[in-house]
Amino acid sequence: MKIICFSVLPVEKPYIEDWARKNQVEVKILSEDLTSETVDQVKGYDGVSSEGIAPVGEDVYATLEKNGIHQLAIRQVGYDNQDLAAAKKHGIVLTNVAAYSPRAIAEMGVTHALYLLRNVGLYQQRMAAGDFTFDEQTISTEIFNCTVGLIGAGHIGGASAQIYSALGARVLTYDPFYDASLEPFTTYVDLDTILTEADIISLHTPLLPSTKHIIDAAALHKMKSNALLINMARGELVDTAALITALKNKEIAGAGLDTLADEGEFFGEQQDLSTLPQDYQELQALPNVLITPHVAFFTKLAVKNSMEIALNDAKNLINGGSSRNIIH
């Protein structure tokens, strides 16, 4: 069996090579995206894998079909730029990796929360200036005395509930979908209870019309003045302008953000700091804000799982089998 993998990052390569060795499958590794210009390289292969961001047009699926290929294994959650109807028309079964390591993202959320809760940034700033003091501005709360409010408790929110619960926090969850398996770790409540009672609010919903700006000025007004907002999901869940105002007016105590609404313009690349958008500059300048560049997922286990799940799906489908990761 021969599989060709497009859009492979250097960090992903060893995991693919390892899978290929263990499964005795010949895998060709390419850094280029799967596009109209590169798709001809699939000639002679039995299956294809790629990431899901680069736009794929109908001609790509047509070329896969022409070369006897019937699947495309996407190595991540998102497949926004795939044309599902065109793929179906050409008999290409798409798979994705819906959950490669929910704990990776959940742990990063908890890391942001603890960093802010214990004023680590503030101490670092002071110490860099030779100030080794502590006072009423830096006294903090312990996590087991906190109420954590999760908005969205699927794979990642569910893992977050388990971690916060293990740390002794009181965990409240707002999610229209009730998951009985989370009962030992959390109590389901309505959104208003989360907003008014939580010391830490952590967002874990997809971006949907119903979740866009779920944290807006009105929601921020309801939050406690000591509350921390943690967003590991999508930037557009939060009204960034309203968040900046709430932080500046001390309506809430801090924010930990792994995603920003306009991140596509600058995350993942080296930037000239002076050219960054105004909202980023304002957030970055606030001492009670921690920003990471959409890397909550980026752990060794998550990368390994993404590669292995996608390639196992490719192998199963090539062999005439099925996969629970088929995108319908």
Where is 312: in which H helix or E strand? helix 300-318
Min separation Cβ 152 and ligand NAD, Å: 3
Nearer CB in complex with ligand NAD: 302/314:
302
Nearer CB in complex with ligand NAD: 38/95:
95
CA distances from 219 to 188, 251, 261, 321 (A): 18, 11, 18, 48
Identity of the residue numbered 91:
G
Look up residue 77 and give its DSSP letter.
S
Nearer CB in complex with ligand NAD: 90/204:
204
Min separation Cβ 158 and ligand NAD, Å: 7
170-199 footprint of ligand NAD as x/- string (CB under 6 A): ----xxxx----------------------
For 195-223, the DSSP string reads HHH-SEEEE-----TTTTTSB-HHHHHHS
Phi and psi for 205 in degrees, rounded to 5?
-105, 160
Min separation Cβ 65 and ligand NAD, Å: 31
Q: Which of 57, 206, 268, 321 binds ligand NAD (CB under 6 A)?
A: 206
Closest residue to ligand NAD in the complex (CB): 154
Min separation Cβ 182 and ligand NAD, Å: 10
For 147-200, the DSSP string reads EEEEE--SHHHHHHHHHHHHTT-EEEEE-SS--GGGTTT-EE--HHHHHHH-SE
Question: Which residue out of 75, 155, 204, 294 is catalytically annotated?
Answer: 294
Cβ-based neighbours of 264, under 8 Å, separated by 6 or more: none
Nearer CB in complex with ligand NAD: 37/192:
192
Min separation Cβ 263 and ligand NAD, Å: 10
Identity of the residue numbered 266:
F
Nearer CB in complex with ligand NAD: 103/126:
103
Cβ-based neighbours of 183, under 8 Å, separated by 6 or more: none
3-state secondary structure (DSSP) of residue 117: helix
Supply 17's token pair: 């090579």
Is 294 an active-site residue?
yes
- Euclidean distance between CA atoms 14 and 118, whole angstroms: 37
The yes or no reply on residue 267 touching ligand NAD (CB under 6 A) is no
Question: Which residue out of 234, 236, 251, 308 is catalytically annotated?
Answer: 234
Q: Which of 234, 240, 254, 304 binds ligand NAD (CB under 6 A)?
A: 234
Is 263 an active-site residue?
yes
- Euclidean distance between CA atoms 266 and 193, whole angstroms: 35
Span interacting with ligand NAD, options 49-57, 201-209, 268-276, 311-319, rule CB under 6 A? 201-209
Nearer CB in complex with ligand NAD: 49/231:
231
- Euclidean distance between CA atoms 281 and 274, whole angstroms: 8
Nearer CB in complex with ligand NAD: 39/303:
303
Instruction: Using alpha carbons, select from 6, 3, 1 the residue that is nearest to residue 74.
Output: 6
Identity of the residue numbered 18:
D
Question: Which residue out of 12, 51, 251, 263 is catalytically annotated?
Answer: 263
The yes or no reply on residue 320 touching ligand NAD (CB under 6 A) is no
**Residue ranges in 91-150 that form contacts with ligand NAD under rule CB under 6 A:** 99, 102, 105
**Chain contacts with ligand NAD (rule: CB under 6 A):** 77, 99, 102, 105, 151-157, 174-177, 204-208, 210-211, 232-234, 258-259, 294, 296-297
Q: Which residues are catalytic?
A: 234, 263, 294
